[in-house]
Amino acid sequence: MAYPDAKHLAQSFHLTYWVIRQQVEGLTHADSLIQPPVRGNCLNWVLGHILTGRCAVLALLGEPPVLTADQMALYETGSAPITGDDGAVALEALLANLDESQQMIFSALRATPQERLDYLLEDGENGQSSVGEEIASLAWHETYHVGQMELLRQLAGKNDQVI
């Protein structure tokens, strides 16, 4: 079996999607804007940033993005922290985009032949790598940020353990 294959990539995105949905359960948009007391960013930014990564996955799979270019600019690496409601995408809208991206990624991966995942990109983010390797890298990146969401949930006053 070739790696990364569509089945394992889809499983990775399924697991992180499930954890995200658990971590945001019961949170409001205002909760998503609470800044950590140390260098970092709010849950709204983290979720938007995860979605920019998912837009990159969708592009690699030949699918359209779930965020606009202006929305992606708010959440890209190095963007200004979101410190209030001004300009932030509503949590509910981000979650709708997450749901849409999940379905699109799953469907696209199911329809993508292994040859496409093995295709070498000219200038991948990690040097010369395959489409599948780039998607696997983006899945790892998503996992990193999903881990931050547990602490951001607790900052919103939820004294619980969701996973």
Summarize pLDDT for 48-83 with one digit per residue, the tens.
Answer: 999 999 999 999 999 999 999 999 999 999 999 898
Query: CA dihedral defined by 68, 69, 71, 76, rounded to 10 degrees?
Result: 140
C-alpha to C-alpha distance for 152 and 29, rounded to whole angstroms:
13
Count of CB atoms situated within 10 Å of the CB of 79: 15
Predicted pLDDT of residue 125: 60
Percent of the chain with pLDDT over 70: 97
Q: Would the pTM of this model clear 0.85, i.e. be above it?
A: yes
Overall CATH class of domain 6-155: mainly alpha
Q: Which residue, among 153, 142, 146, has the nearest Cα to 52 in the 3D structure?
A: 142
Instruction: Show the CA angle centred on residue 88, arms to residues 84 and 94, nearest 5°.
Output: 130
CB-facing half-sphere around the CA of 125: CA atoms within 13 A: 13
